[in-house]
A and B are shown apart, each in its own frame.
Chain A
């Protein structure tokens, strides 16, 4: 009568399920902030004019870096050949993105566009800053995973790589929402 119960996501893959739940809550955090900023954008007349202060070149370059880092994740993690090199690619791409964003921040901050310069800037710093922190966390994790793989001491569990890949896709998605919110005039 009793049948063996199959886990929802597969034995040993609880970690991935946990990452899904985590990203679900992250989605509501970013979702709420993005929706709030979108309402401000609809309500404020000067939003698109202010948006012109941002450099599209830097944004394009940053996007290329972030997406380039995503390529570091193989489509199928199982066949990930020389994974430490791939993890290195992820952390380098992510780091370049962060450097570009930091340059952006410093430039606008020094030009007097601070959070108190209007809702556009307040939302810009808060949302891209929070996103940047997420990229930073991803870079640190990728660097750590890559180092573990490089030392080959304990073989990295595949679920860790799958989890990080999922996280990175999420960070990419948020970045595209932010591009639309702040850069698309």
Chain B
């Protein structure tokens, strides 16, 4: 496909032509004195470098999380046989991998990637700021996250292995080693998650303050790009939901070491309290991850459809509504936990209502495509595929929000399939969409579109093949978290579905070689990227690729709302935000 080249040459570059001379001059001089020693890079307070550090952390942790998934999937498909590269999967390590896979993917991959990497790199650029509001806090934040990762990884080295009570760390499993056989590993889990949350809180404070206080002249709130809105809302959500789980972690540490009984029924405490505190945090957490991914889609759709986002302001209202509602839905995770059944109805109602604002966003995205001049780039491929896959996850969530259905489906593979259909599109497909969209901006090189398309289709198809079968297993009654499905007569006929999922998962992982190769190839000899290769309208495209230190060589002034395109000569030219 060379529309991309043709389009890049279509005259988008010359918009910044006036300023590009000074910009390149500054870039060159900055390159000359850029500290090349690794400590300088390590202790940088530049939001762009910190964003890349977050990216590095999330990729490394993702490797561990993916390996965990492979171990689990092997045991489920071929119980009792040695997994290549691992060996026989024993029940104890199975539980540990189950716990670590969930913990790592949620807290150490999804949040560092979508908030840490994309948020850090692009929020200051998109609001026209030089850096974050608190650059040193930003550095401390990524360092705290690194420390959290070390603590979590250390639990693989201690005597009884890592925590094994599931990523939700329910009591009493997590409170008493008698259940899992894990002592120190469980403490390390609690400390690591606490540190991880502290890191994300610091990062969120930075994003909020930057987006509110450091906007370029003319960038009024209605003109703020939707990606920045999603980052702001995600930060607010995390800020007001993390406290309860951090408090619960302190209570559990006290239960484990000081002999208190907050969560121990026999000592007057309440095991359900953990579940309440966990899910009061847990549901907003899902949106903390989901909203930035939607934000990436919301940037990509207008750029490649050459149309303004339909009902952009309604989307902002819908996102805030969903954020507010996400604080009053948590007990839908607890319909069968033994809490008062009277609570099931109100929480079921709020859960089903919360799908309305998301439906608004999805319809607005689809309406954005209507009448657009679609350019099927790799970023667009991932964005459309991600949105479509997320729809399946969202709709199956409505099933689970109805208590009568949930009674049967709770803790089955239906739930596993459901949340993978929400989180995988958000984290992986959203992450790749953002990678292909912003790679030229970050590195100054274009990725190969042909390899990208192959990567996109392989990932999309393999993903469906991994998780669609799990819906059927769940409806069949397959409990989640079981170690060996072949123990159960009624599950044995379904094992071929597990095998299909496992084979597809291996294909899914192997097909990521395409993106690795694409990135390495492009970094080495990729085509040079202009400052605005896709014809974007938001401020990150106003600067050079990669951005100069300090982001903008000339002060930017914002003239109007984002996502404007002229409609003349049957060609749609972007009218960027900084164009008067």
Contacts and interface: CB of A to CB of B under 8 A. Distances in A.
Interface of A: 1-5, 7-9, 11, 13-15, 17-18, 21-22, 24-33, 36, 39-40, 43-44, 114-116, 118-119, 121-123, 125-126, 130
A17 B213 contact: yes
A115 B244 contact: no
Given A1-B559, A22-B205, A126-B251, A119 B269 contact: yes
B260 A14 contact: no
Nearest to B133: A14
Given A18-B134, A25-B240, A31-B243, A5 B268 contact: no
Given A14-B134, A17-B209, 16 more contacts: A2-B558, A14-B213, A18-B133, A18-B205, A26-B243, A29-B247, A31-B244, A33-B250, A36-B247, A40-B262, A118-B268, A119-B262, A119-B268, A122-B254, A126-B260, A130-B250
B239 interface: yes
Nearest to A19: B205
22 contacts: A2-B559, A3-B217, A4-B218, A5-B219, A7-B215, A8-B212, A9-B213, A14-B213, A21-B205, A24-B239, A25-B201, A25-B243, A28-B243, A30-B243, A32-B243, A36-B247, A39-B273, A114-B259, A119-B268, A122-B258, A122-B260, A126-B250
A21 B254 contact: no
B277 A32 contact: yes
Given A5-B216, A29-B247, A115 B209 contact: no
Interface of A is mostly: helix
A110 to B, nearest CB: 15
Nearest to B258: A115
B563 interface: no
A145 B247 CA distance: 29
Contacts of B269: 40, 119
Contacts of B268: 40, 43-44, 118-119
Contacts, number: 135
A25 B262 contact: no
Contact of B217 (A5, A8, A15, A40): A5
Contacts of A118: 267-268
A116 B258 contact: yes
Among A8, A31, A32, residue most surrounded by chain B Cβ atoms (within 10 Å): A32
B243 A116 contact: no
A11 B133 CA distance: 11
B209 A32 contact: no
Given A8-B212, A18-B205, A115 B557 contact: no
B254 A115 contact: yes
Contacts of B560: 1
Contacts of B250: 33, 126, 130
A2 B259 CA distance: 62
A28 B242 contact: yes
